[in-house]
Amino acid sequence: MEYVPFILFVTVLAFVVYAVNQKSSKELENVGLVVGGIGAFIVIGIIIFNLGNKGIKKGTKYLDDRSSRKVYCAERADSASTSYAAKKIYKACMSR
């Protein structure tokens, strides 16, 4: 499934090259350029969507990890004798 955009792009590119080489048929050339442009936009859109989707997943994983870390660090900071020590323990725990 991950090779479908590449196959589509290569097929459209081959059609565009064929259409440009056929100088006698201007309509075929225009259709080839339109199909090639649409194919290029589809491939670029899929690439952007896949990269953005990976970044979103990575960001949500980071935020989920951070929220569970906050709870853990707050529990560790509760055992401190002073508020200054609690802040230091919490900051040190969160920076790991």
pTM above 0.75, yes or no: no
DSSP symbol at 68: H
pLDDT at 84: 92
Report the pLDDT value the prediction gives residue 5, as an integer from 0 to 100.
72
What residue segments make up the domains of the chain, in order of their start?
A: 4-94
**Please, what is the Cα angle at 21 between 13 and 27, to 5 degrees?**
85
Residue ranges of the chain with per-residue pLDDT less than 50 = none
